[in-house]
C-alpha cells in the first residue's frame, strides 16, 4: 500500500492574525504527528502550484481575479467576516489546489494507492463565486472536476466529515448528478446549511448530527446514510474533505468524536474505494483547530490510509 503525503512550506505562510483559529500552527501539528517513525514509509511530495485552468473548473474568472486582488502587499486583510488574507495566501491556496489535483493524478495513474494533502487554507466553504469560512478556493470541488475533465472519470464522490457543513461544495454540485456530495456535520452550526431535505439533483446526502453527539451517532450516520449512498452511486474516485474539528477537544463545535472514530471512518471509505473505484482515494485537510486533537486525528487517519 503506497500513500503519498503532499505538503509545502507555503502553507505556513498563509497568515491570519493573532487569535484566528485557522492558523499556521495547524501545519506544525500535522507535521509533528507525521514525524513519528511509523510514518517513515510515507512518500512525501512538495505540493505543486495549480494552473489557472484547473481553478476555473469550479470558479469563474471574476472570482479568481477578485481573490488575487484582495491579497495585501503586507500585513493581513479580512475579506469577509471570518476569512483573512496575507501576502502569501493566494499562493498557498493555489498550492493546496495543485496538490489536490496532483493527488488525483497519482491515484488514477497508479503512482499511489491513496493520498493525503496536508494543506491550508481549507476549501469546502468556498462557493462557486464566494470566499467564506476561512476558505478561498474549493480544492475538493476542483479535484473532482479535474478527475472528470482530465482523466475522464464519470462519477466522483466527495465525503465531508468536517464538523461544519461544506456549503461551498454542495453549492458547486447542486445540479450535477455526476458528483455525489455526502456530509456528516453538526447542526445547527455555521454556515447554517446541511438539512436532510437539501438533496440537489438527488446527489446531495446530508446526515446532520446534534451538539453532544459522539462516535456512536457519527458511525450510525455513516452506516445508515453515507455508506448506502456511496454503494448506490458506485464512484470512480473518492475524495475526502477531512476536517478534524468534530474531535471532542475542538473549540469551534460540540461533537465528541475521538481519533478512533476518524480511523474507523477512513477504513469505511477505503473499503468503498476498493469496491467501486479501484482503491482510488484522495483526502484533503479541511478543519481541525485544537492542535492536540488535530495531531492525534491526522495521525490516526494517515495510519489507516497506509494500512489499507
CATH of the domain at 99: 3.40.800.20
Spatial distance between the Cα atoms of 57 and 55, rounded to a whole number of angstroms: 5
Cross-strand bridge partners of residue 247? 257
Considering Cα of 287, then 158, then 31, then 101, what sign does the dihedral take?
A: negative
Q: How many domains does the chain have?
A: 1
* pLDDT at site 308: 86
Average pLDDT per consecutive 10 residues, the chain (308 residues; last block may be shorter): 96 98 98 97 98 98 98 97 98 98 98 98 98 98 98 98 99 98 98 98 98 98 98 98 98 98 98 98 99 98 96
* pLDDT at site 119: 98
Domain interval for residue 14: 3-307
* Per-residue H/E/C for 55-94: HHCCCCHHHHHHHHHHCCCCCCEECCCCCEECCCHHHHHH
265 three-state secondary structure: helix
C-alpha cell at 73: 502587499
Query: Starting from the edge strand earliest in sequence, which strands make up the sheet with 204-209, in order?
Result: 43-46, 3-7, 114-117, 281-285, 237-242, 156-160, 179-186, 204-209
Helix and strand element counts for the chain (H, E): 10, 10
Q: Would the pTM count as exceeding 0.95?
A: yes
Catalytic residue numbers read 125
Cα–chain-centroid distance for residue 67? 20
Q: pLDDT tens digits, residue range 220-263?
A: 999 999 999 999 999 999 999 999 999 999 999 999 999 999 99
Q: CA 226, 139, 83, 262: dihedral to nearest 10 degrees?
A: 40
Rg of the chain over CA atoms, in angstroms?
A: 17
Burial of 217 (0-12, 13-18, 19+ CB in 10 A): middle
Give the Å distances, CA to CA, from 14 to 23, 85, 125, 193, 224. Answer: 8, 7, 17, 27, 38
Amino acid at each position: 500500500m503506497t500513500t503519498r503525503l503532499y505538503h509545502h512550506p507555503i502553507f505556513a505562510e498563509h497568515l491570519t492574525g493573532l487569535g484566528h483559529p485557522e492558523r499556521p500552527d495547524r501545519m506544525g501539528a500535522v507535521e509533528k504527528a507525521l514525524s513519528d517513525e511509523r510514518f517513515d514509509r510515507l512518500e512525501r511530495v512538495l505540493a505543486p502550484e495549480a494552473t489557472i485552468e484547473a481553478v476555473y473548473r469550479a470558479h469563474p474568472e471574476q472570482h479568481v481575479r477578485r481573490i488575487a486582488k484582495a491579497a495585501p502587499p503586507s500585513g493581513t486583510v479580512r475579506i469577509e467576516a471570518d476569512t483573512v488574507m496575507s501576502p502569501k495566501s493566494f499562493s498557498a491556496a493555489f498550492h493546496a489546489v495543485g496538490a489536490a489535483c496532483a493527488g488525483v493524478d497519482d491515484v488514477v495513474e497508479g503512482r499511489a494507492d491513496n493520498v493525503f494533502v496536508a494543506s491550508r487554507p481549507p476549501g469546502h466553504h468556498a462557493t462557486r463565486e464566494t470566499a467564506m469560512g476561512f476558505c478561498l478556493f474549493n480544492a475538493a470541488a476542483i479535484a473532482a472536476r479535474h478527475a472528470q475533465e482530465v482523466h475522464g472519470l464519470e462519477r466522483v464522490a466527495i465525503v465531508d466529515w468536517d464538523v461544519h457543513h461544506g456549503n461551498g461544495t454542495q453549492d458547486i454540485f447542486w445540479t450535477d448528478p455526476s458528483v455525489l456530495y455526502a456530509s456528516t456535520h453538526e447542526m445547527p452550526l455555521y454556515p447554517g446549511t446541511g438539512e436532510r431535505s437539501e438533496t440537489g439533483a438527488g446527489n446531495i446526502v446530508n446526515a446532520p448530527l446534534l451538539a453532544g453527539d459522539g462516535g456512536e451517532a457519527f458511525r450510525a450516520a455513516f452506516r445508515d446514510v453515507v455508506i448506502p449512498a456511496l454503494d448506490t452511486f458506485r464512484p470512480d474516485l473518492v475524495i475526502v474533505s477531512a476536517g478534524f474539528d468534530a474531535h471532542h477537544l475542538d473549540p469551534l463545535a460540540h461533537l465528541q468524536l475521538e481519533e478512533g472514530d476518524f480511523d474507523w471512518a477512513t477504513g469505511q471509505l477505503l473499503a468503498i474505494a476498493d469496491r467501486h473505484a479501484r482503491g482510488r482515494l484522495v483526502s484533503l485537510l479541511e478543519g481541525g483547530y485544537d492542535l492536540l486533537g488535530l495531531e492525534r486525528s491526522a495521525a490516526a487517519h494517515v495510519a489507516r490510509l497506509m494500512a489499507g
